[in-house]
Chains A and B, each alone.
Chain A
Amino acid sequence: MNLSGNFQPRIKIQSRNLNLWYGDHQALKQIDIDIHQNKITALIGPSGCGKSTFLRCINRMNDLIDHTCVEGQMVIDGKNIYDADVDEVAVRKRVGMVFQHPNPFPKSIYENLIYAPLKHRQVKKGNDCDELVETSLKKAGLWNEVKDKLHTPGTSLSGGQQQRLCIARAIAVKPDVILMDEPTSALDPISTKKIEALMMELKESYTLVVVTHNMQQARRTADFTAYFHLGELVEFNTTEQLFTQPQETLTSDYISGRFG
C-alpha cells in the first residue's frame, strides 16, 4: 500500500490520507488504498463503518451532502480528483455508479440508456443511439429479455432486470470505473447470481469497486477485499488472503461471524 515513485499502470485508483467529516463526525480516517485496474475490489464491514462513504468519495457523490469536508487525495489515473481544477461532473462521467435500489428513470428503456450519452454529446440521435442501446444492453446481459420492448417503461421490468438496466445505463456513458453500492441487497438470489456473473464479465473492460454486506458475495466475486471498521481501513488484501489468513483480529472476528 505504499506509494512508490514509479508509475504503476495496473493501479487505477489510489487514495492517500483520505479523511472525511460529516459536520463534526469523522466518517473516514486516513484511508490509503490502491485499487487495481480490471479487478473487482470489494469493500466490506459492519454498518456505519464508512465503506459506502469511501465508495462515494471515488466519484465525489459526497459533495452533494451539505457540511461534508474531504481531506487528502483520491488519485484516479494520476490525477487527484479533489484538485481545484477538477469538475466533479466530469469525474462522475468517468466513474459510473450503480445503487442499492434499482433506480431507472421513469422513462422507456431506450430513453434510460441514451439520455446521458446524448447530454454528453457522445452519440447523435438516430442509428448511433440504436447501436449504443444494443451494445449496452448486450454487455449488461439484458438484450435478449428486452429487445422487443425497448419503448416500454424501465420501471415495468422486474427488480433484477431493473438493476441490470441501471448497469447498462452506467456502461452507456463509457466509464472506466463502475462503483456498485450493495447492488444486490434488494434482489432475490437468482437475480443476484445474474448480477454477480455480470460483474465477472464487466471486469474485463472496467474497474469495479463493490460495497457489499454479503461476505460470500465478496468471496465469490472480488479479487481484492478491503475491511472497514469505524471509519478506518483495517485490512486490505487479495480476497484469498483476507478470507483465509486475516492479519487482524477485527477482520477474522468479522469474517467468522463473531460480530457484524
Chain B
Amino acid sequence: MSANPFFDPSLPKRHRSARRFKRFTAASIIMTLAFLFFFLFDMVRTAAPAVWQAYVKVDVTYNEQTLRFTRKAVDKKYSKIVSRAWLRTLPKQVDTEPALMNTTVALWVLADDQVDQYMKGHHHKLKPKEVTTVENMKENGDIELRFNAVFFSQGDSKIPENAGIQAALIGSVLTLIVTMMIAFPIGVMTAVYLEEFAKDNRLTRFIEVNINNLAAVPSILFGLLGLSVFINLFSMPRSSPLVGGMTLALMTLPIIIVSARAALRSVPVSIRQAGYGLGLTKLQIVQDHVLPLALPGILTGSIIGLAQAMGETAPLIIIGMIAFIPDSPESIIEAATVLPAQIYTWAGMPERAYVEKTAAGIIVILLILVALNATAIYLRKKYELKW
C-alpha cells in the first residue's frame, strides 16, 4: 500500500479540538434549557394547587342577629371553617334576595384558607378540634375541592381564599392600552421621520444616539420621571392606569422606534425609487408602499415592547400601582394595580395560601407573554415577503 498523500499529522488534534468546542456549545444550550425547565416545572408544581379551592357544605341562618354578627350564621364548630370573606357577604345576599331573611339553608360555601391548605396537605394552623371537624365533614362528603373560580373573579384581598387576579388583570389591560395608544403612533411616526424624511446631519445623529441610550435607561428612572412629571407637575391621578400607561409608554418608545426603523430600512430602496420614478410624492410612497411592507416588522417590535412593558414592575411601584387595591378599575383614572405588582405583593404576604397564588399569578403572566410573542411570530410569518 502506498503512502497516503493526504496525510497530515496535525489533523486528528485539530478535529478533536473542533469536537470539544462543539460539545461546549451544546452543553451551554442544555444548561439554559435545564434552568428554564426547572423554573417552569417548579412554578407549575407550586401553582397547581391554586386551581382548586376547598368548599364546605354548612347550614346558614339568615336573621337580624346573624346579619349583624355574621359568624353566628353557622354552627359554632364551623365558624373557623367557613371563609370570613364569604360570611361578610351575608347582608349583601339578603339585599339582593330578601326571601332569604329568617331562613336556614344548607349551602356549599367557600372554606377558610387554613382548611383549604389542610385539604391540600400543606402546612396549616388548624387546632386539633377543627381538624376533627374537617375529618368528620370529609367522611360525610360535606367538604370538597372545587375549581377555583374566585381566583379569576375577585381582586386582591387580605383574606387569602378570597384573593384573585381579576383587578390586576384589568389594571394591566387598561395600562397596556394606554401604553400602546401613546407609544405606537409616536414611535412609528418618529421612526418614519428619521428613516424617510430626516437629512443625515449632526442633529439627527444626536437624536439617534439618544434614542438608543434611552432604551438602556433603567426602568425605575422612568417611574421617577412619571412621578415627578405626570403626578407632581400635571397632578394626574396617582396609581392610575393613565399614569402607569404613560410611564410605560416612555419606556416602550425607544424599543418601538428602533424596531420600526429596522423594519423601514429593510424595505428595498428599489421600491422607493420605483415610486419616485412614477412621479409619486414622498407621502404616497411611504404611506402606500413602504409602511405596509414594514408593518409586520413594526408590529413584531411593538408586541415585544408591549410584552416587556407588561412584565415591568419597578416604575409602577414608584407611581403607586403597588398599593392594596381590591376593586377592579372601571376607567383609566381610577386606582389600579397590575399583574406583576400583584405578584410582588402576594410574594410578601405571610400566609401559606398566598404561595400558590403567587405561583399561579406568575403562570398567568407567563401565558400572556407567550401568547403575545406567539402573535408576534405569527404576524411576521404571515406577512413576510420573499423578494
Chain A contact residues, CB within 8 Å of chain B = 59, 61, 64, 66, 89-94, 96-99, 101, 103-106, 115-116, 119-120, 155, 166, 169-170, 173
Contact = CB atoms under 8 A, between A and B. Distances in A.
B199 A96 contact: no
A103 B279 contact: no
Given A103-B268, A105-B271, A61 B278 contact: no
Interface stretch (B118-126, B137-145, B280-288, B341-349): B280-288
Nearest to B284: A119
Interface residues of B, number: 20
Contact of A116 (B268, B280, B385, B387): B280
Interface string B265-304: 0001011011011111100100011000100000000000
B273 A103 contact: yes
A99 B277 contact: yes
Given A97-B277, A169-B278, 19 more contacts: A59-B277, A61-B273, A89-B280, A92-B276, A96-B277, A98-B277, A99-B273, A101-B270, A103-B268, A106-B385, A116-B278, A116-B279, A120-B279, A155-B385, A155-B386, A169-B274, A170-B277, A170-B278, A173-B278
A81 B277 CA distance: 15
A93 B279 contact: yes
Contacts of A64: 276
A170 B280 CA distance: 12
Contacts of A170: 277-278
B97 interface: no
Interface of B: 199-200, 268, 270-271, 273-274, 276-281, 284, 288-289, 293, 385-387
Contacts of A169: 274, 278
A167 to B, nearest CB: 11
B200 A92 contact: no
Contacts of B278: 92-93, 96, 115-116, 169-170, 173
Contacts of B280: 89, 116, 119
B274 A89 contact: no
B274 A99 contact: yes
Contacts of B279: 89-94, 116, 120, 173
Contacts of A120: 279
B282 to A, nearest CB: 9
Contacts of A106: 271, 293, 385
A61 B288 CA distance: 20
Given A66-B199, A99-B270, A115 B277 contact: no
Nearest to B270: A103
Contacts of A119: 280, 284
Nearest to A156: B386
A103 B267 CA distance: 12
A155 B387 contact: yes
Interface centre among A90, A94, A96, A106 (most CB of B within 10 A): A106
B274 A104 contact: yes
Nearest to B273: A99
A92 B293 contact: no
A174 to B, nearest CB: 11
Nearest to A90: B279
B40 to A, nearest CB: 40
Contact of B288 (A99, A101, A104, A115): A115
Contacts of A66: 199-200
A101 B280 CA distance: 19
Nearest to A175: B279
Contact of B274 (A90, A91, A166): A166
7 contacts: A89-B279, A92-B277, A92-B279, A93-B278, A96-B277, A96-B278, A169-B274
Nearest to B268: A103
Contacts of B199: 66
Contacts of A92: 276-279
A129 to B, nearest CB: 15
Nearest to A117: B278
Contacts of B284: 119
Closest 7 pairs (CB-CB, A-B): A93-B279, A97-B277, A103-B270, A116-B278, A92-B279, A103-B274, A106-B385
A101 B277 CA distance: 13
Nearest to B387: A155
A94 B278 CA distance: 9
Contacts of B273: 61, 97, 99, 103
Contacts of B200: 66
A169 B278 CA distance: 8
B276 to A, nearest CB: 6
A90 B271 CA distance: 19
A115 B199 CA distance: 28
Residue among A61, A98, A119 with most chain B CB within 10 A: A119
B267 to A, nearest CB: 10
Contacts of A155: 385-387
B295 to A, nearest CB: 12
A64 B277 CA distance: 11
Given A66-B200, A119-B284, A155-B387, A105 B277 contact: no
Contacts of B289: 105
Given A103-B268, A105-B289, A61 B274 contact: no
B385 A105 contact: no
Nearest to B199: A66
